[in-house]
Every structure is written in structure tokens, then in C-alpha cells.
Amino acid sequence: MSGGFRIDPEALGRAADQAHAHADRVEQHGRNLDARTRGKLLGKGRLGQIVQRAVRPVLDSMIKDMSKAMAGGHRSIGHGLEITRKNLDAAEESIRKNLRHHARDKDKVEVKLGQSVLGEEGLRDQYKRRVATRIAGLRKQGHGPQRHLDATDDMLKARLGTPVAPFMRDGTPTYHRSAGGYIQTRNKIDPLHGPDPQKRLQGDALYRDAENPTERHSCGDFSTGFKPGEDEAFMYAEQHARSLLDPSVSGPQPIRFSLEDAWGKDGDHHERLRGFYVDPADPVDANGKVNYKPVDFRGAKMFAYFKPDNHGGYKLSTMFPEPDPARNP
């Protein structure tokens, strides 16, 4: 008798990523071949011109159409695997509901000797492992999770830095402001330095960028990220952003999209996020402590930045929420 088979959602996710990456490589090879051959003569003289007119259009069409068809085939496989993975998620949820239903029934599920049933806790653990595996993979691609998922609230505030010393205007201390009207800051600490960097880094080294130590770390008017434990939200946001990549572009690609596009129309998605900015109306209190205001993420967008991975695909460099300034005066 057959021992059955087992579907691994994590393997499905990896296979889908590989299929999409292979499609990207096929498209890139097609573009390279087209660029190297288009406009070049296939022969010289009268006979060469005849060959050129007869064969050139066919060759150009073959390069374009075959590359497109091959890439489309691999991309279809990738989409099919992603759909299968999503269907598994739906099946897991259905099983959870049935298990809860049976738990209330008098008639329990009978399990014979040698059989086992993966309960709700087991399903949940399996799904958590799949999410953790994907987030670990994204950590290797760039700094998205490290700066915008793993960072604590204190690390997000430290990334904003402290206000630049004010100047006097008509006898009143006046703070320098950015183009958006927010307080300009300095001495920003990169979350990639890890917890308590003040204990390990001295002087100017504390304010250097962890990825590029030749530069001081930079941060805009807002320091934002996902709330602790929102690994699943980060994973699905990146998955949606990756689906928006333009295969005809060979360089870096910035992607912006709404929270609803990634997570659906229902739900208070802004509550998955967190962030801070320096209070423009009262940057520093009487004791010299910086006043950091929490960000209102209603109406926010998500920004993702992808870079070529040198293998025909793309890697996630970073991803973070962009607040609506109108909601954060």
C-alpha cells in the first residue's frame, strides 16, 4: 500500500521563486540577444540583401516570440505554484475550523493504530516555520527585515537622531526644517548596528551606516516599520511587491502600492505598522528630551526597492511603510 505523500508549502514557495527567477533570466537573455543581432546584416551584395529581407524579420520574430513564450511558461509555473501554496493556506484554515467543530462534537475523530492527525497546533507551527524561512531568506537579500521589522521602538527613534541645534530668530530658538516642514535631525543610529550600539561603538562610528561605513547613516522625516510579530504581513507585502516587477526593466525597480493591495480590502491594516517622527510643534521638552510622535498610518503606502541579483532575477533591498504627511502634522 502507498505510504501517501506530503506537500511542503515552504518548498512550493521556493520553487515558485525559482520559476520566476528563471523567467527573468530567459527574458534578459532574449533582450541581450536581440540587442546584439538587431540591425546587423546577414549578408553582403545582392544575394545578401535578398537573404536579409527574407530572413531578418523571421529571425527577429523568433528571438522575441520564443523568449517571450519560454519566459511565459516558467512564469505560469511560478504562478501555479503560488496559487497551490495559497490553496494550501485556505485548506489549513478549513482544517482548523473542522477541528474546532469536532472538538465541540460528542463524536470524536477516530485514529487507528499507526495513524496520526496534524492538529491545529501542528498546522500553526508548520505555517510559522514557512513564514520564518521566507523572512530569513529576505534578510540575506537586503536590510528590509533588519531595519523595518526586527528593530525595537527605541531603535526606530534612535534612527531619527536628534534635532539640529536651533538658531535664534528675533530672540526665539528656531529649528531647522526639511522641505516637508519636519524637524531636521542629525546623529542617526542605524538599527543594523544591533541593540545597545552605544556600548560597542565610540565617537563618529556610532553614526556610520552599517552597510557602508564610509557614509553617515541617513533617515528621512519618518522612521517606520512593521510591529513586532508581523512577519506574515511583511512576507505577503513583499510577495505582492515582487508580482509588480516589470520584466522589461533590467535595473533597480522601486515599487509603491497600497496596504489594501497587499493584504485585502478588509481590516485595519494600518495597525500592523509602527513608526515615529520628531514633533514639529514641540521638538524638545524643558528637560532637553526629544519628543517623538507616533505615526498615524491611515492612508499610508508601502515602498519596496528591488535590485538585480546578478542571476537574472531580483532581490529585495528594502521595504517600509510611507505615511501620509497630511495625517501627521
Q: For the residues 110-139, what does the mean pLDDT come to?
A: 76
The larger pLDDT score, comparing residue 71 to residue 42, is at 71
What is the Cα–Cα distance from 27 to 249, expressed in whole angstroms? 10
Could you tell me which of 146, 285, 280 has the C-alpha nearest to residue 217? 146
CATH number assigned to the domain covering 9-104: 1.10.287
* Cα torsion 97, 100, 102, 106: sign: negative
CA distances from 114 to 48, 103, 110, 111, 136 (A): 75, 22, 12, 8, 35
What is the Cα–Cα distance from 309 to 255, expressed in whole angstroms? 16
At residue 278, φ and ψ (nearest 5 deg) are -75, 130
Q: Kind of pairing, strands 162-163 and 172-174?
A: unpaired
Contact 206, 198 (CB under 8 A): yes
Segment holding 261, helix H or strand E: helix 259-263
What predicted TM-score, i.e. pTM, was given to this entire model? 0.66
Segment holding 88, helix H or strand E: helix 45-104
pLDDT tier at 4, thresholds 50, 70, 90: very low
Burial of 306 (0-12, 13-18, 19+ CB in 10 A): buried
What is the Cα–Cα distance from 164 to 159, expressed in whole angstroms? 14
Q: What is the pLDDT of residue 1?
A: 42
Cell triple for 146: 533588519
* Cα torsion 176, 155, 242, 262: sign: negative
State the span(s) of the chain assigned CATH 1.10.287.
9-104
The larger pLDDT score, comparing residue 88 to residue 243, is at 243
pLDDT tier at 172, thresholds 50, 70, 90: confident
Contact 306, 252 (CB under 8 A): yes
Cell triple for 291: 519628543
pLDDT tier at 170, thresholds 50, 70, 90: confident
The larger pLDDT score, comparing residue 280 to residue 13, is at 280
Coil, helix or strand at residue 257: strand
Q: For the residues 168-190, what does the mean pLDDT come to?
A: 93
Q: What is the chain's Cα-based Rg? A: 27
